A and B are shown apart, each in its own frame.
Chain A
Amino acid sequence: MPANEVDLVRGTLDLLILKTLSWGPRHGLAVLRWIEQTTNEQLQIEEGALYPALHRMEEKGWLDAEWGFTERNRKAKFYRLTAQGRKQLASELTRWSRYTSVVGLVIDARAVVPAR
Chain B
Amino acid sequence: MNEPTGAWATLRRVFRLPQTRRRMRAELDDEFRFHLEGRIEELMEREGLAREQAEYEARRRFGDFDTYRQQVRNIDDSMLHRRSRMELLDTIRRETNHAARALLRAPSFSLVAVITLALGLGAATAIFTLLDRVVLRPLPYPNADRLIHIGTLWRMETGGTDEYRISRGQYFYFKHESATMSDFALYDTQVSIVPGDGDHPAERVNTVESSASVFSVLGIRPELGHVFSVDEERAQNKTVALISHDYWQRRFGGDPGIVGRRLQLGWGPSVEIIGVLPHGANLPDVKADIWTRNQLDPNDKPANNHTHHGIGVLKPGVTVAMAAADVKHMQALFVAAHPEVYPASFMTRTGMAMHVTSLRDSIVGESVVRAFWLLFAAVAFVLLIAAANVANLFLLRIDARRREVAVRTALGAGRGELAVHYLAESLMLGGVAAVGAIALAYGLLHGLLAIAPQSLPRLDEVTIGWRSVTFCAASAIAFGVVFGLLPLGSIGVDVAVLRDAGRGLTTSRPRELARRALVLTQIALAVVLLSGAALMLKSFSRLRHVQLGFNPVGVQTMTLILPASKYLTYQQVEPFWRDLMRRVEALPSVTHAGATNNLPFGGGFGCTSVATEAAGDRPADVHCMSMVFVTPGYFEAMGVKVAGTLPTWSSVEAGAAPVIVSGVVARRFWKDVSPIGHVVEPFNPRMPQFPITGIAEDMYGNGLRSPLVDAIYFPIVPPSDELTAKFGPGSWASRYMSLVVRAPNADPGALVTAIRQIVTQMDPQVPIADVQSMEIIVAQSMADTSFTMSLLLIAATIAMLLSAVGIYGVISYIVGQRRVEIGIRLALGAQVREVSRLIVGQSLVLATAGIAAGVMVALAATRFLGSLLFEVSPTDPTVLGGTALLLLVVAVAASVGPTRRAARIDPVEAMRQ
Contacts and interface: CB of A to CB of B under 8 A. Distances in A.
B34 interface: yes
Given A51-B68, A55-B79, A74-B34, A33 B8 contact: no
Nearest to A69: B12
User: Could you say which interface size class chain B belongs to?
Assistant: 35 or more
Contacts of A70: 3, 7
Contacts of A56: 75
Nearest to A44: B61
Contact of B8 (A34, A58, A78): A78
Given A58-B79, A59-B75, A74-B34, A34 B2 contact: yes
Contacts of B8: 24-25, 68, 78, 80
A112 to B, nearest CB: 45
A11 interface: no
A78 B6 CA distance: 12
Contacts of B1: 33
A92 to B, nearest CB: 19
B294 to A, nearest CB: 74
A115 interface: no
B4 interface: yes
Interface string B1-45: 111111110011111010000000001101110110111000000
Contact of A29 (B7, B13, B39): B39
In order of increasing CB-CB distance, the 9 nearest A-B pairs are: A68-B11, A48-B68, A24-B5, A46-B63, A48-B63, A59-B79, A52-B71, A25-B8, A55-B75
B34 A55 contact: no
A86 interface: no
A98 B846 CA distance: 87
B72 A51 contact: yes
B76 A67 contact: no
A24 B31 CA distance: 19
9 contacts: A25-B7, A30-B2, A46-B61, A48-B67, A51-B35, A51-B72, A66-B13, A68-B11, A78-B8
B34 A46 contact: no
Contact of B34 (A24, A76, A80): A76
Contact of A49 (B7, B35, B63): B63
B314 to A, nearest CB: 59
Contacts of A52: 68, 71-72, 75
Nearest to A64: B17
B76 A47 contact: no
A71 B5 CA distance: 11
Interface of A: 23-30, 33-34, 37, 46-49, 51-52, 55-56, 58-59, 65-71, 74-78, 80
A69 B68 contact: no
Given A55-B72, A59-B82, A78 B11 contact: yes
A60 to B, nearest CB: 9
A65 B14 CA distance: 12
Contacts of A67: 13-15, 27
Contacts of A74: 34, 37-38
Contact of A47 (B5, B37, B62, B79): B62
Interface string B264-280: 00000000000000000
Nearest to A77: B31
Given A30-B2, A48-B63, A59-B82, 11 more contacts: A30-B3, A51-B71, A58-B79, A59-B75, A59-B79, A67-B27, A68-B13, A68-B14, A71-B3, A71-B4, A76-B31
Contacts of A37: 2
A78 B34 CA distance: 12
Nearest to B24: A55
A62 to B, nearest CB: 13
A25 B5 CA distance: 7
A55 B65 CA distance: 15
B14 A77 contact: no
Residue in B5, B28, B38 with the greatest tally of chain A CB atoms within 10 Å: B38
Nearest to B41: A72
B64 interface: yes
B64 to A, nearest CB: 7
B2 A33 contact: yes
Contacts of B34: 27-29, 74-77
B508 interface: no
A58 B31 CA distance: 14
B78 interface: yes
Contacts of B78: 59
A91 B34 CA distance: 32
A74 to B, nearest CB: 7
Given A49-B68, A78-B11, A55 B76 contact: yes
Contact of A27 (B3, B13, B27, B39): B3
B650 to A, nearest CB: 107
B17 to A, nearest CB: 8
Interface string B364-393: 000000000000000000000000000000
Contacts of A28: 31, 34-35
Contacts of A29: 34-35, 38-39
A47 B4 CA distance: 21
A80 B8 CA distance: 9
Nearest to B82: A59
Nearest to B38: A29
B630 to A, nearest CB: 93
A47 B42 CA distance: 15
Nearest to A80: B8
Nearest to A51: B72
B5 to A, nearest CB: 4
A56 B72 CA distance: 8
B31 A66 contact: no
A71 B7 contact: yes
Nearest to A23: B5
A108 B7 CA distance: 43
A25 B71 CA distance: 23
A42 to B, nearest CB: 15
A47 B14 contact: no
A26 B5 CA distance: 8
Contacts of B63: 46-49
A48 B62 contact: yes
Nearest to A31: B3
Contacts of A49: 63, 68
Interface in B83-138: none
A37 B46 CA distance: 14
B6 A24 contact: yes
Nearest to B6: A24
Nearest to B31: A77
Contacts of B15: 67
A89 to B, nearest CB: 16
Contacts of A24: 5-8
A52 B75 CA distance: 7
Residue in B3, B7, B79 with the greatest tally of chain A CB atoms within 10 Å: B3
A68 B15 CA distance: 8
Residue in A46, A48, A65 with the greatest tally of chain B CB atoms within 10 Å: A48
Contacts of A27: 3, 34
A49 B64 CA distance: 9
Contacts of B68: 48-49, 51-52
B30 A46 contact: no
Contacts of A58: 79
B3 A26 contact: yes
